[in-house]
Structure 1
Amino acid sequence: MKIFSRLACLLPLFCTFAVSLAQDEFATIPASSKKLTDSVTGIEVETQISEFRIARTETTQSEFSRIMGRNPSFHQGLDLPVESVSWWEAIRYCNLRSLKEGLEPCYDLATGARDPSRAGYRLPTEAEWLKAFGDSVQFTAETIGQYGNIGSSNTKSLEELKKDLAGRMPQKAGSRPANKNGLFDMLGNVWEWCDDFNGRVAGHPVPLIDPRGPDWAPERVLLGGSFISLAGNWGRSYRSSIMPEYRSRFTGFRLCLSTGRRWSAAAPEESVWAEPYNRVPAGFENKTGELSSLVQDSQGKTITTLEGWEKRRAGIKAKWEKTLGLSAETSGKPNVKEVRTFEEELYTGKLMYLQVEPEFWEKIYLMYPRCPLRNPTPVVIVPYYDVDVPAGQPLGGRTYLPPGTRSFAYLMVQQGYIACAIRWYGESYGEGYGEAVANLKLNHPGLSGLGKWVRDARCLLDYLYTLPGVDRDNIGIIGHSLGAKMSLYAAANEPRITAVVCSEPGMGLDFSNYEDYWYHDNSILARDKATDHHELLGLIASRPFLLIGGDSADNDNSWYYINSARPVYQLFGKPLNIGYFNHRSGHSPTPEAVGLAVDWLKHFLGGN
């Protein structure tokens, strides 16, 4: 006996108990999540399906004619599923029934667009339908009839097909056993229209919250098969698609309702959650190398109180502000010039120039998610050479890479956060880096390159604070390489940033090219022995900070910096707010590392 291994041959665990159709017409499917690999970035992501209610049976001819005043079905019978209806007629039924029952219609009948904020009747998305279909078991051509009103396995004889067509028809709704969700006829009887356009293929982004099909395609999705569908491999997974104008004696639909309740994971123990970020290699436990102690005062006494730390912190802050050439001046009212708006599948992007000086504007790309995490919405800033790489989108900059492990702005907007990419001044303040630094010294003689960046970051934060819908208490920053240096310095000098991820910045001043004059200059080599980036981590404490290394700019020696700062975090009672993950695969972050970085921001900005 042949066992079919395709998705076509996976079936819900059907219950043998009877479910009375006099019970609630709709079953509630709880919110859930599922891990999958995004075909755009190659990174494992977590998709979420909100709670929804779905009709226990396919819409019957009685229900359809009561609302629409007619019965288009080829096979007549009030308890039979309605068929011979187009997708357009199905959504018209949804809207009219919503109006009759005092619900807000979901569909624009001119375009077919659905407003997801409305709670009226609608068709299920493909993801919802498959979720309602339930867990699966294998079945054979000989046993499939136990579970659904499906056709035969004949693919050779036209005479047999004619007999099937003459002798088979839809059965009364609810005739077969219900699946474990209490739903009838999810397999066979009639095909069921879904809300989605057909056509999502590799290379399309995955919407992570209530995933739907592409924005447009010529056909709509059908699921479940019919009473004449083949009971075998040629069933093609009982998934099909066809033009929405199409009417067939084999196709009907079932209704769905949104409840608005999203999935929420049970929070694990903090120590369990933090384990990947605290895998200290042997020999580096609590070691700080030759770094100065952050919790020792000027008399050499150990600091044991937050009051003592604040005095120590003030001295560190003043030293670094002097090193960077920062002053207490404010940027004034933030101004932007909008260049172009991009309507993408997952977000709306606004390419703009932000005024950071009276005569200079810096490029930013602000990305608003189609499905915001919540309102107000957390923001993640992504600094880099230009905005194209963080966005995973060619925007006319000097550098571009397709979406991947450096596309942090894309990854965060995919998660439902507002994301804002911003360009490094070295790419814009002059024709090249030499000219950019020359202009910096002409315009601001005492300001270092990283000091210039901190001022730009403050202007960006001032602007973000003016935007409606922004959660000011949850603004993160994440960057790779140059972007990681920018993230480190911005967070250390700007308390409005509430969570930080730095991928391969070179934690030590001697780990990377900080002596180049677009960062500091070679005077940084003559610094006093106590001055190093562990002090910046102290300034960031107790805000969450994650370092990502790859044994390139950051290796096991970077643990000295994490270990040096952890006593400060302990003073705040938050030792797990600082962590380090070393993927040991070189300078570029791996998908695993990026996944952990995104999880870090989600954990501390709200989203898990």
Structure 2
Amino acid sequence: MIRCFVSLFFCALTISSLAAQDVTWLAEVNTPPKELSTSGQAGRPAMVGLEAWQQERSRLRDQWKTFLGAYSFPELPLQMETIKQERLEHCTRRLVRYQAEPGRMVRAYLLIPHDPADAKLPAIVAFHGTSTGTFDKLVGLDAEPARHMGLRLAEHGFLVICPENYLWEQNNYKASTTAALKNHPGSKGMAVMLADGMRAVDVLLSLDAVDPQRIGTYGHSLGAKEALYLAAMDDRICAAVASEGGIEIGFSNWDAVWYLGSDVKQEGFPRKHAELVSLIAGRPFLILGGETGRGCADGERSWPALHVGQEVWRAYYPEPVQLGLLNHGQGHALPWDAGEKVIDWLDAYVADRTSE
């Protein structure tokens, strides 16, 4: 266990220095509002010694895993098969199916760049938003080109996996949650999403073309929630972007049964998503917010939770702090220019990252 803590600390301590070059606009997103007070912030870990923080970090993660009823099946054979594929201009778009857990298969698209410049490719787990077409928009099979982020990332040289969320496995979200949790009594819907996200990383690591030191994650809305949890709970993720997911529990419908359930609304509920941000600290994490409008989940109100992670970063990890908020102010959307910033971020902190 001590060896595990030392390994985690070394990885987190060195990771900020592994980027070849920071994004040029880092100061625009990592500078909190002047009026932000750090006193009495819920979810802020106590500032302790380095070794003690690693133990605290492990304890926080275990508490979240216990609450979620988290599970994973890393040794389970993938049994991956190709359903169909097509060659596009910059990549091959391959629909696959693999075993996520015993008896349950998940579909995903793999976007594999043509003629890669590197022997090993950087990779992204890209999560889709709430849509009847599930991952179609993400991989370029539906309208709204700005939301084709999986395809856009593949065009920039990333090998991308876009898993399909479990919520569409049955007729409605509640039925899908009931079915998915049948073999996991006591688990939350978010535990399924986390397990599926970790399984997507397993798929990437099974591919010879993927660099295991350069795996990031991205998601919008529903997908942002998955990206947040995957980055917080899986150290194989070296950088993340969460667009309009609602960083704190009160910002979105986190109480839905397919996410965390009604426990989060009970008086005295002890967990805060600021703790998840603190678990990510040491690895680059960008929140995209739209500020106002129907369904808008993030914006300036996201700063207190994000600032908790910044405090942890500054206490234990080298500068600069690569945790920030890009507030585009255009509601619950992903404007094209904001998507370009997402690509910049993942280029800098995943693709251009130097392996240990």
Tell me if both proteins adopt one fold, taking TM over 0.5 as the criterion: yes
Note if 1:473 corresponds to 2:218.
no
* Aligned ranges 1:589-608 → 2 under 5 Å: 589-607=334-352
Q: Secondary structure, in 3 states, of the residue corresponding to 1:443?
A: coil
Match of 1:274 in 2: 26
Match of 2:331 in 1: 586
Partner of residue 320 from structure 1, selected from 38, 41, 64: 64
Note if 1:522 corresponds to 2:262.
yes
Contact 2:95 2:109 in 1 (8 A): yes
Partner of residue 224 from structure 2, selected from 484, 496, 501: 484
Match of 2:116 in 1: 372
Match of 2:180 in 1: 440
* Aligned ranges 1:191-206 → 2 under 5 Å: none
Which of 319-328 and 464-473 deviates more? 319-328
For 1:288 and 1:466, the matched residues in 2 are separated by: 45
For 2:206 and 2:307, the matched residues in 1 are separated by: 37
Match of 2:135 in 1: 387
Deviation at 1:277, TM superposition (A): 1.7
CA distance 1:361–1:271, shift in 2 (3 Å) = closer
Contact 1:492 1:537 in 2 (8 A): yes
Match of 2:157 in 1: 416
Deviation at 1:524, TM superposition (A): 1.6
CA distance 1:272–1:600, shift in 2 (3 Å) = closer
Q: Secondary structure, in 3 states, of the residue corresponding to 2:145?
A: coil
* Aligned ranges 1:95-494 → 2 under 5 Å: 270=22, 272-284=24-36, 287=38, 290-294=41-45, 296=46, 302-303=47-48, 305-327=49-71, 330-384=74-128, 385=130, 386-393=134-141, 401-428=142-169, 430-494=170-234
For 1:557 and 1:433, the matched residues in 2 are separated by: 28
The AA in structure 1 aligned to 2:27 is E
Contact 1:502 1:546 in 2 (8 A): yes
Q: Secondary structure, in 3 states, of the residue corresponding to 2:28?
A: helix
Deviation at 1:541, TM superposition (A): 2.0
Q: Secondary structure, in 3 states, of the residue corresponding to 2:264?
A: helix
For 1:272 and 1:507, the matched residues in 2 are separated by: 24
For 2:218 and 2:248, the matched residues in 1 are separated by: 18
More helix by share: 2
For 1:346 and 1:441, the matched residues in 2 are separated by: 39
Note if 1:540 corresponds to 2:280.
yes
- Per-residue CA deviation, residues 393-419 of structure 1 (Å, 9 max, x unaligned), is 1xxxxxxx3252221101100101111
Match of 1:506 in 2: 246
Contact 1:488 1:500 in 2 (8 A): yes
For 1:334 and 1:346, the matched residues in 2 are separated by: 27
CA distance 1:469–1:344, shift in 2 (3 Å) = same
The AA in structure 2 aligned to 1:602 is D
Backbone CA RMSD of aligned residues: 2.0
CA distance 1:340–1:547, shift in 2 (3 Å) = same
For 2:75 and 2:265, the matched residues in 1 are separated by: 31
For 2:73 and 2:160, the matched residues in 1 are separated by: 27
Match of 1:20 in 2: none
The AA in structure 2 aligned to 1:356 is A
- Per-residue CA deviation, residues 218-267 of structure 1 (Å, 9 max, x unaligned), is xxxxxxxxxxxxxxxxxxxxxxxxxxxxxxxxxxxxxxxxxxxxxxxxx7
Deviation at 1:490, TM superposition (A): 1.1
Contact 1:288 1:563 in 2 (8 A): no
Contact 2:228 2:240 in 1 (8 A): yes
For 1:472 and 1:317, the matched residues in 2 are separated by: 22
Contact 2:73 2:101 in 1 (8 A): no
For 1:505 and 1:451, the matched residues in 2 are separated by: 17
Deviation at 1:283, TM superposition (A): 2.2
Deviation at 1:272, TM superposition (A): 4.9
The AA in structure 2 aligned to 1:595 is E
TM-score by length of structure 2 reads 0.86
- Per-residue CA deviation, residues 457-488 of structure 1 (Å, 9 max, x unaligned), is 22222221111111110001000000000100
Contact 1:331 1:459 in 2 (8 A): no
- Per-residue CA deviation, residues 519-556 of structure 1 (Å, 9 max, x unaligned), is 01111212645521111111122111111101121121
Contact 1:367 1:413 in 2 (8 A): yes
Match of 1:496 in 2: 236
CA distance 1:414–1:607, shift in 2 (3 Å) = farther
Contact 1:379 1:417 in 2 (8 A): yes
Structure whose alpha-carbon radius of gyration is higher: 1
For 2:62 and 2:350, the matched residues in 1 are separated by: 29
CA distance 1:335–1:574, shift in 2 (3 Å) = farther
For 1:380 and 1:348, the matched residues in 2 are separated by: 15
The AA in structure 2 aligned to 1:367 is L
Match of 1:256 in 2: none
Q: Secondary structure, in 3 states, of the residue corresponding to 2:86?
A: strand
Deviation at 1:332, TM superposition (A): 1.5
- Per-residue CA deviation, residues 21-74 of structure 1 (Å, 9 max, x unaligned), is xxxxxxxxxxxxxxxxxxxxxxxxxxxxxxxxxxxxxxxxxxxxxxxxxxxxxx
Match of 1:161 in 2: none
For 1:288 and 1:413, the matched residues in 2 are separated by: 43
For 1:424 and 1:520, the matched residues in 2 are separated by: 15
For 1:576 and 1:498, the matched residues in 2 are separated by: 14
Identity, in percent, stands at 28
Deviation at 1:433, TM superposition (A): 1.0
For 1:527 and 1:321, the matched residues in 2 are separated by: 21
Deviation at 1:431, TM superposition (A): 2.1
- Per-residue CA deviation, residues 110-157 of structure 1 (Å, 9 max, x unaligned), is xxxxxxxxxxxxxxxxxxxxxxxxxxxxxxxxxxxxxxxxxxxxxxxx
